[in-house]
Amino acid sequence: MTVAQFFGCGMITFGPPLVLFIITMAKDPIRVIMLVASSFFWLLSLLFSSMLYKVVGPLQPYLAFGALFSVLFQEFFRLLWFMLIRKAEVGLKKVSEDNLEIIENKHILAYVSGVGFGLISGAFALVNVLADMTGPGTVGLYGDSPSFFIATTFTSLAFIFLHVCWGVIFFAAMHTRRYLLIAYVIMSHLLASAITLLNPLYAVTVPLVWLVLVVTAVIALCVAGVSPASVRNSLKFSDRAYRVDAVDVGATDSRAHL
């Protein structure tokens, strides 16, 4: 049972992002490197926020404080990461000469770094819980909710997806200087985090977090320029023609650079 639960919960949380990774990133080394680097940035943000948490001893019982600052740190490091990518764009162009896709379509990098942030935050939220899942022991013997694990799992998944959407929105907003969207990212991050503060009330928190996710996802899709028509297009498997175009553009471009 415990092992089954371990695998089930693990798959729920990490299955979807893993599929995203395999389908959209695993083939392109640059994307994988970007993924790892962005998760490194998230790690740095966590490090700083937990340092702060450690330093202010008296406030340690109030997790809300730690969560608040952690969210701010994360967004700050997202900004830093964005600036770094921007600085490195020239180099990136050189490195990825064969597929300029990654430079031309800014959303790709945004999405990749969003997944990076999401994966590592999901990992940090869940791995130790997962490790505990394999037993020995059972949840709920002392009157705790028996759905502890499953709630954690679904919330983690929501946060992973939220990070992806936030990444896309944030980067697009920075590129086009729509600061309202940045404010939305920060506010919705704070909101989602605040919702989970209520947490033993799973019936409230999990649906609310997913609601935030749906809203954010819609905004992210709009920002990325997804329309019903483009969805239909992409479902027609016409991406082969698309890809050839991209290669064409990239190739002629690199010629022009020479």
Kindly list the residues in this chain that would bind another protein in the complex (CB under 8 A): 29-30, 32-33, 36-37, 39-40, 43, 46-47, 49-51, 53-54, 63-64, 66-67, 70-71, 74, 91, 94-99, 120-121, 123-131, 148, 151-152, 155-156, 159, 192-193, 196-197, 199-200, 209, 247-248, 250-252, 254-256, 258
Q: How far is the CB of 253 from another protein (least distance, A)?
A: 9
State the Cα–Cα distance between residues 90 and 80, nearest whole angstrom.
Answer: 17
Residue closer to another protein (CB basis): 61 or 228: 61
Residue closer to another protein (CB basis): 163 or 172: 163
Q: How far is the CB of 29 from another protein (least distance, A)?
A: 4
Residue closer to another protein (CB basis): 60 or 230: 60
Residue tagged 């929501």 (tokens): 158
State the Cα–Cα distance between residues 80 and 39, nearest whole angstrom.
Answer: 13
State the Cα–Cα distance between residues 19 and 16, nearest whole angstrom.
Answer: 5
19, exposed or middle or buried, with CB in 10 Å at 0-12, 13-18, 19+?
Answer: exposed
Residue tagged 């609601």 (tokens): 211
Q: How far is the CB of 234 from another protein (least distance, A)?
A: 22
State the Cα–Cα distance between residues 136 and 126, nearest whole angstrom.
Answer: 17
Q: How far is the CB of 209 from another protein (least distance, A)?
A: 8
What's the number of CA atoms in the CB half-sphere (13 Å) around residue 176? 13
